[in-house]
Amino acid sequence: MNITVIGTGYVGLVTGTCFSEMGNRVTCIDIDEKKIGDLKKGIIPIYEPGLENMVQKNVKRDNLHFSTQLNEGLEKAKVVFIAVGTPMGEDGSADLQYVLGVARQLGKEMNKPLIIVDKSTVPVGTGDKVKKVVQEELDKRGVNIDFHIVSNPEFLKEGVAIEDFMKPDRIVVGAESEEALETMNALYAPFTHNHNRMISMDIRSAEMTKYVANAMLATKISFMNEVANICELVGADVNKVRIGIGSDSRIGYSFIYPGSGYGGSCFPKDVKALKKIAEENGYKARLIASVEDVNDRQKLVIADKIIKRFGEDLTGKTFALWGLAFKPGTDDMREAPAIYVVKELTKRGAKIKAYDPKAIEEAQYFYLKDVKDISYFHSKYETLPGADAMILLTEWKEFRSPDFEEINVQMKNPVIFDGRNQYSSLNLEKRGFEYYQIGVKRQ
């Protein structure tokens, strides 16, 4: 099938590449000339395991193409995916200017029937707006061309996006016509060969499903972090409580790990957007608002522990920081706890020596570019000499089983602040460490 994907960000690039892997002829469109030039050379703008090789392979196979010209993508396309950004507005709502801008351009340039698919995360009712804008442009041209609107939200996890797309646990499709639904079924058939995971519904329900899924996962995280804070006050061990409740099949173990809060491109934005959607319809979403409030506070829990241990004035103190990305497997630092911890400590006079396997450039040139008292290193052990304590904020695999003797020797003080409870079962205090974690009161 001939497919066009508009937008070569995280979602668009993964979507186009995975469809091309199954033999479809895919054209990815973006207005960023440099990005398209790099993609044609096999240079990938994001870090996602397996993506670079898949892009390069399918470009060589002539299955995957990149262009800045929309007309090149529309020439033979049967399905067009809109995968442009929906940045968060100042009021928390999703900004639809790019989605509707693409819809307007499609209405101006399409010359044959199309199935137009919203892949971007969009508020309920966006499908209707896209349909209206496309039709307005067709009417201006005085042409009558059939088109169908579909909502097909993505459920990709950064770090395992290729696997998620190639082996989906569900494919949600909101469609207004049988023709569109049949086409989407055919397009996704190679991904559901062993088991039909297609869930069809109306467009508004599909749009809502994405927001609710992310808000539900964010709720589990904030709930467990709230519990962790209570456990610490009453002398319980949240790590043991987690095991106790996770063994209940109605609850399960997923997303109940205590830590320094959620970040990334999806949960913070989608929780805010869902809260805003409720407000716009006259409803105050108290639980969803609390999820956000708990998460905002949680990002500074580790900083608060450090300040309590070393004092309000951190002048002359140096901290080794392991982990900058909001989660392992990605270079994404959007809303990462590291941003908040670094800024809180450095404004009090501390110096930070940071290491992350993938996110150093993101920190240097974007998220922490204005922070002067931070330096970056090429390995985790290089951050340790002269450090008053080590802080763990991202649970990369290479941090799971470090050489604690080396850590002890290199640092000024054998002090660890663990923002992801990675070392909770290792009895570090018996090894001479002063160990602080989330949800466990130090004796």
Q: Report the catalytic residues.
A: 266
Tokens of 81: 């995916």
The radius of gyration computed from the CA coordinates of the chain, to the nearest angstrom, equals 24
Alpha carbon of 240 to those of 228, 245, 246, 425, 442: distances in Å?
11, 9, 10, 10, 15
Eight-class DSSP state of 387: -
DSSP string across 167-212: S-S-EEEEESSHHHHHHHHHHHGGGGSSS--EEEE-HHHHHHHHHH
Cα separation, 128 vs 140, whole angstroms:
18
Look at phi and psi of residue 248 and say left if phi exceeds 0, alpha if psi is from -120 to 50, else beta: beta
Taking alpha carbons only, the member of 195, 194, 161, 155 closest to residue 173 is 155
Other C-beta atoms lying within 10 Å of the C-beta of residue 378: 10
Spatial distance between the Cα atoms of 8 and 44, rounded to a whole number of angstroms? 10
Alpha helices in 22-125 (DSSP H): 33-40, 51-60, 70-74, 97-109
Maximum distance among all alpha carbons in the chain?
79
**Residue corresponding to tokens 């499709």:** 173
Give the end-to-end CA distance of the chain in Å, rounded to a whole number: 63
Q: For 77, which DSSP code?
A: -
As given in the structure block, the two tokens for residue 48 are 């996602």
